[in-house]
Structure 1
Amino acid sequence: MNLDALKIVLVDDDEDDRTFFKDAIEEVDIKTNLLLFGNGQEFMDYITLPGQSLPHLVFLDLNMPIKNGIQCLTEIREIPTIKDLLIAIYSTSSSDQDIEDTFIKGANIYINKPNDFKKLKKIIKDVLKLNWQYHTSNLDRESFMLSI
């Protein structure tokens, strides 16, 4: 594991989406260590292990079996040791209700999953290069939804 790399997590139940994301992040010129989880419960079991090193950023799908993204987000924000994790909602949903719910529950950014590899690489690169301290201190509904 590369210690200088950003530790990134993707939680998504769709295997094709996980592979697509993995392939894209490998082509971005930023060193990363990517961990993949197939559902929210697997991720929550992992992230709440005592002494677990926290990722720099979590890409969290909304619609998953067992434990969905909203449930994970809600739990994460209630657990003192992980409540400050940077959470990027990464979903096919563009429903105003989903965007509003995740904004209110404390996600840091909302990203619609692109189906274009080039767009996905650009999104990943843009999100990894964000100045999160600035982004989160000035967060409002307009800056919450990432536009391509």
Structure 2
Amino acid sequence: MHQTVIHYIDDDPEDIEFFQYAIDTIHQQIILHTHTKEASLFAALRNEKHANQILFLDINMPGKNGIEILKEIRKSEALQKTPVIMYSTTKDASIIELCQQFGANLYAIKPVSFSSIGDIINKIIAINWHEFKPESNTFVISASV
């Protein structure tokens, strides 16, 4: 079993706590790094190189929002192939389309229960990112209700 490194950026401490709790309930080898500011995220990404690395970006944050951070990530040659999951409560089709246009790999709708968060994380870490190509009909992922 390989180890997955997840970087999660969100300005809401409660959302970070929920995400951490969900990670703790998953029976996989996951290292979680949480960030509340983009500077912390980019410093971590510069200093740590992991083959099995996935980024979860909240969209609605003060300062740079998740879409702006996504654009920056996709400009970086070192991060071009890093899977980026936009992780938000918004279901606005125009926002989802922007995320896909700017290079996000998936758009995950934030669920309200710990088990549902865990379900989404499990689905995402099970993806073979070397072969995965996002398409319009599979771009949005949500928990099974």
Give the structure 2 partner of residue 88 of structure 1: 85
Query: Which residue identity does 1:17 align to in structure 2?
Result: D
Query: Which residue identity does 2:37 align to in structure 1?
Result: N
Give the structure 2 partner of residue 35 of structure 1: 33
Give the structure 1 partner of residue 11 of structure 2: 13
1:42 Cα offset (Å): 2.4
Spell out, residue by residue over 1:63-85, the C-alpha distance to the aligned partner (whole angstroms, 9 max, x if none): 11121111111011111111221
Superposition misfits of 4+ residues, deviation over 6 angstroms? none
1:79 has 2:70 as partner: no
1:5 Cα offset (Å): 2.0
Query: Which residue identity does 2:108 align to in structure 1?
Result: I
Query: Which residue identity does 1:45 align to in structure 2?
Result: A
1:41 Cα offset (Å): 3.2
Gaps (5+ residues) in structure 2?
A: none
Which one of the candidate residues 113, 118, 131 is aligned to 1:116? 113
Distance 1:57 1:7, change over 3 A: same
What value does the CA root-mean-square deviation take over the aligned residues?
1.5
Looking at structure 1, the residues matched to 5 and 105 of structure 2 have their Cα atoms a distance apart, in angstroms, of: 17
1:48 has 2:43 as partner: no
Which one of the candidate residues 104, 118, 136 is aligned to 1:141? 136
Looking at structure 2, the residues matched to 135 and 100 of structure 1 have their Cα atoms a distance apart, in angstroms, of: 18
Contact 2:111–2:142, Cα closer than 8 Å, also in 1: no
TM-score (normalised: structure 1): 0.88
2:15 alignment partner, SS class: helix
- Report percent identity of matched pairs: 30
Query: Which residue identity does 2:12 align to in structure 1?
Result: D
Query: Which residue identity does 1:66 align to in structure 2?
Result: G
Query: Which residue identity does 1:143 align to in structure 2?
Result: T
TM-score (normalised: structure 2): 0.90
Gaps (5+ residues) in structure 1?
A: none
Looking at structure 1, the residues matched to 118 and 43 of structure 2 have their Cα atoms a distance apart, in angstroms, of: 29
